Structure 1
Amino acid sequence: MESLQDIAHQIYQKTGVMTSSKDVEKILSAAAATPHFWEIISLSQKPFSVVAEIIELLRQRNLLKVEKNGDIKFNSKGLEYLGSLKIAPKRTYTCHACEGRGINFSKLEDLIKKFDQVTVNRPKAISDYDQGFVTTQTVVGRIALLAERGDLEGKKLLVLGDDDLVSIAAGLSGMPTEIVVMEIDDRLVEYINEVANKYNLPIKAMKYDFRDKLPEEYVGYFDTFITDPPETIEALEICIGRGISALSKEGCAGYFGLTLIEASLEKWNVFQQILASKFKVVVTDIIHNFNHYVNWDYLLNTVGKQYEFVQVEPKLNWYRSSMYRIETLKDSKGIENEYKPCELYVDEEALIYRGDKA
């Protein structure tokens, strides 16, 4: 059997995603811990296409088999291979109560209950805008994080895209003085405004495409922004750039999620350089796996691999992202130019189907 480095090279040739021997090792460790493909992704925190191709390569090398139900199991040859490399099953010690966020949710029970009651008829996630909203615990965890960092109470909050309905949770908390939602989906704009009117929340939702220039009245207006951007480099740059241009002064904050499932460490490196060099902001926090997403209905219809172990309904909320917090300095600057076209959803690391690779 090939070395881990040889496997990494083959996967790079297949996917175009930079892959190291350590990446392969982490995926093998995750696969040794669970037979469920989507949980392997969650445990390994490596790009979807890389995980899928490594599992398929191991199947072709007769190191594992795929059961009729899609479960992935190492055979005796595969277990011997893992043993020769001293690769053990992935260990996890995450706190069940806070899911690794470090937040005491017992203090947030009222907000959790109220949010679930208010949003029971929320619009479904649709593929048109690559939507997939987070769990209630994630939404409320975001509110707690913003509040704990001093970025919510008495502040003006911008939400750039809001299928997660963070604006409603923030409004129900009673902490921000003003909340503006800029959202491309007409369904969500209408829904958020309806809920705001019904419950007398300080929220205004408006239709907006972040590729467009910000409305003049909102340039330099907000204390805090939060967004969950698409993960091509172009989309990350323009979305976060718009958010930064909406902040009012030094010491303001921006929050956004970034996965390792559709954004490799190579992409993180490129984007962190943009944050530091182009936008001149500081990354103050990266909280691993803070954001947990509810499984979306259209996943298997759009996923970019048709292997039998991929075409299995997830058994857990497997899609997760780390929460970034950035803070502005006196010379920070965002993007204020006119309409800026960019590729939003599709690159070699994307989860969605691209048509050029099976």
Structure 2
Amino acid sequence: MKKLQEIAEEISRNTGVVTSAKDVEKILSASASTNHFWEIITLSQKPFPVVAEAVEILRKEGFVAVTEEKEIKFTEKGMEYLKEQNIFPKRTYTCPHCEGRGINLSLLSDLIKKFDEVTEDRPKAISDYDQGFVTTNTTIARIALMAERGDLEGKKLFVLGDDDLVSIAAGLSQMPKEIVVLEIDDRLVDYINRKAKELNLPIEAMKYDFRDKLPEKYIGYFDTFITDPPETVDALELTIGRGISTLKGEGCAGYFGVTLIEASLEKWNIFQQILTSKFKVAITDIIYDFSHYVNWDYLLTTVGKPYDFVQVEPKLNWYRSSMYRIETLKDSKGIENVYKPVEIYVDEEAIIYKGEKK
């Protein structure tokens, strides 16, 4: 039987993503807990290509079988392998009320209700801009987190990209002094501005591609920024660098999500070095699995390599990201205000493969 390290090396060769024996162990543990592919990703918290390729290798080795319903089940040989490797089903003890965020949303029930009512006609997520918005509870939890850290009430808030409609939720909370949204999707720009006018919210949205220069008037203008960046290293660096350059100076905050589904720990390490060494900011919080995303309609039509077991509708909000909070220091600096062309959406760790869009 193959050793875990041998499986890890095969995954690395086939995907181009550095994979360890421990990664394989976590995927096996997750697979022992559920037979649903998308939940295996959620439980293992490993990049999509790594999980998909691992399941394919396990099937070729006869450790798992895929049913007609696309369920992934261990064979007798596979159960023996788990026992031999001393691997057990993944255990979860996440609080069902706060979903692991540590935020009491019952205190914000009125805001949740109002947000749902106001955004009932929100634009659908589309693949053109890699969109996929978060659940209402996630959006309101972001508002609560920024407020609790003292980064929202009476502050100027900058939102870079807003298919999650954080700007509207923040406006409805009546806490920020001013909210500016820069967004590439004309539909969202028009929608946010229309809602702001109808509801008399202090929001202004404008069309913007973050590869372009920021409007000069917004450099050093805001107290707080929030964004949900694409996850190539270049896109992470540029998005957060833009956000930092909009902040007033020392003691300001930035919020953003990074997944483990499209960003390995190797990528996290590179990005964290950029944050601390290049941008010279402090990472004050990383809240695991903070953001839960609503399943986007175009998922199965745009997933990359055609593993048959992937072609099944998710049963849960499987795509999740951890929330980072950074705080600026005396010498913090963002990206220079120049145009910077980068690959935004696709690398080896993306849900889809090079040459395709998610």
TM-score computed with the length of structure 2 as normaliser: 0.99
What one-letter code is carried by the residue in structure 2 that aligns with 1:73? Answer: K
What one-letter code is carried by the residue in structure 2 that aligns with 1:48? Answer: F
Aligned residues: 356
User: Is the aligned partner of 1:238 residue 2:258?
Assistant: no
Q: Deviations over 1:248-286 (max 9, x none)?
A: 010000000000000000000000000011100010000
Q: Judge conservation of contact 1:302–1:353 (CA < 8 Å) in 2.
A: no
Identity %: 76
Please state whether the residue corresponding to 1:284 is helix, strand or coil.
strand
Q: Deviations over 1:187-228 (max 9, x none)?
A: 000000000000000000000111111101100000000000
Q: Judge conservation of contact 2:347–2:353 (CA < 8 Å) in 1.
A: no
Quote the offset at 1:305 in angstroms.
2.6
Q: Judge conservation of contact 2:212–2:339 (CA < 8 Å) in 1.
A: yes
Match of 1:150 in 2: 150
Match of 1:274 in 2: 274
Q: How does 1:52-63 map to 2 (within 5 A)?
A: 52-63=52-63
Please state whether the residue corresponding to 1:309 is helix, strand or coil.
helix
**What residue ranges of structure 1 are gaps of 5+ in the alignment?**
none
TM-score computed with the length of structure 1 as normaliser: 0.99
- The alignment's C-alpha RMSD in Å is 0.8
Please state whether the residue corresponding to 2:308 is helix, strand or coil.
coil
Q: Distance in 2 between matches of 1:2 and 1:156?
A: 56
Q: Deviations over 1:14-50 (max 9, x none)?
A: 1010100100000000000000000000000000000
Match of 1:162 in 2: 162
Q: Distance in 1 between matches of 2:227 and 2:237?
A: 12
Please state whether the residue corresponding to 1:33 is helix, strand or coil.
coil
Please state whether the residue corresponding to 2:117 is helix, strand or coil.
helix
Quote the offset at 1:336 in angstroms.
2.6
Q: How does 1:156-235 map to 2 (within 5 A)?
A: 156-235=156-235
Q: Distance in 2 between matches of 1:127 and 1:355?
A: 14
Q: Judge conservation of contact 2:134–2:292 (CA < 8 Å) in 1.
A: yes
Runs of 4 or more, structure 1, over 6 Å off, are none
Q: Distance in 1 between matches of 2:252 and 2:213?
A: 20
Match of 1:288 in 2: 288
Q: Judge conservation of contact 2:122–2:191 (CA < 8 Å) in 1.
A: yes
Quote the offset at 1:340 in angstroms.
0.4
Match of 1:306 in 2: 306
Q: Distance in 1 between matches of 2:305 and 2:229?
A: 23
Q: Deviations over 1:299-344 (max 9, x none)?
A: 0111113111101110100000000000000110001332100000
Q: Judge conservation of contact 1:179–1:203 (CA < 8 Å) in 2.
A: yes
Please state whether the residue corresponding to 2:325 is helix, strand or coil.
strand
Please state whether the residue corresponding to 2:210 is helix, strand or coil.
coil
Q: Distance in 1 between matches of 2:302 and 2:144?
A: 33
**What residue ranges of structure 2 are gaps of 5+ in the alignment?**
none
Q: Distance in 2 between matches of 1:265 and 1:246?
A: 28
Q: Judge conservation of contact 1:264–1:349 (CA < 8 Å) in 2.
A: yes
Please state whether the residue corresponding to 2:41 is helix, strand or coil.
helix
Q: Judge conservation of contact 2:94–2:100 (CA < 8 Å) in 1.
A: yes
What one-letter code is carried by the residue in structure 2 that aligns with 1:343? Answer: E
